[in-house]
Amino acid sequence: MITLARKLRAVDYFALGWGSMVGVGWLVVMDDWLLRGGTLGAILGFAVGGALLLPIGFVYGRLVAAIPDAAAEIAYTAKVFPQPVSFATGWMMFLAYFIVCPWEAVAIGRIAGYIFPALDSVEIYRIAGRPVYLPHLVIGLGLTALLTGMNYRGIRLSATFQNWATFGTLALFLLIVAVGVSKGSPRNFPPLFTHSGFVSVLLVMQIVPYFMTGFESVVKGAEEARPEFKARQFFTAIWMAIAVGILFYTIIIAAVGYVAPWHQLTNDKFMTAVAFERAVGSRWIVSLILAAALLSLLKVFNGNLVAASRVLFAMGRRRLVDPRVGEVHPRNRTPSVAVVWVGMATAACMFLGDAILVPITEVGSVASALGWLGTCAAYFWMRPKPVERAIAMAGVAVSLLMILMKVVPAIPGHFSSYEWLALGIWSLMGLTLAWRARTSSGGRT
- Inter-residue contact 96 to 371 (CB < 8 Å): yes
Cα dihedral sign for 103, 105, 108, 113?
negative
pLDDT of residue 444: 46
Give the separation between CA 439 and CA 16, rounded to whole angstroms: 36
Q: What is the pTM of this model?
A: 0.91
Give the separation between CA 319 and CA 329, rounded to whole angstroms: 18
Residue 157, pLDDT above cutoff 90: yes
Give the separation between CA 325 and CA 428, rounded to whole angstroms: 19
Span of 238-247, 365-374, 386-395, 406-415 with lowest mean pLDDT: 406-415
pLDDT of residue 315: 94
385: which residues sit within 8 A by CB, 6+ positions away?
none
201: exposed, middle or buried (C-beta count within 10 Å: 0-12, 13-18, 19+)? Answer: buried
pLDDT of residue 79: 93
Residue 360, pLDDT above cutoff 90: no
- Inter-residue contact 152 to 334 (CB < 8 Å): yes
- Inter-residue contact 55 to 389 (CB < 8 Å): no
Span of 206-210, 316-320, 338-342 with lowest mean pLDDT: 206-210
Q: What angle do CA 411, 417, 418 make, to 5 degrees?
A: 120
pLDDT (average), residues 183-201:
91
Buried b (16+ CB within 10 A) or exposed e, 311-330: bbbbbbbbebbbbebbebbe
Domains of the chain: residue spans and CATH: 10-438 (1.20.1740.10)
Where residue 445 falls among pLDDT bands split at 50, 70, 90? very low
pLDDT of residue 281: 85
Give the separation between CA 213 and CA 19, rounded to whole angstroms: 10
81: exposed, middle or buried (C-beta count within 10 Å: 0-12, 13-18, 19+)? Answer: middle
Nearest to 422 by CA among 92, 106, 104, 125: 92
- Inter-residue contact 248 to 28 (CB < 8 Å): no
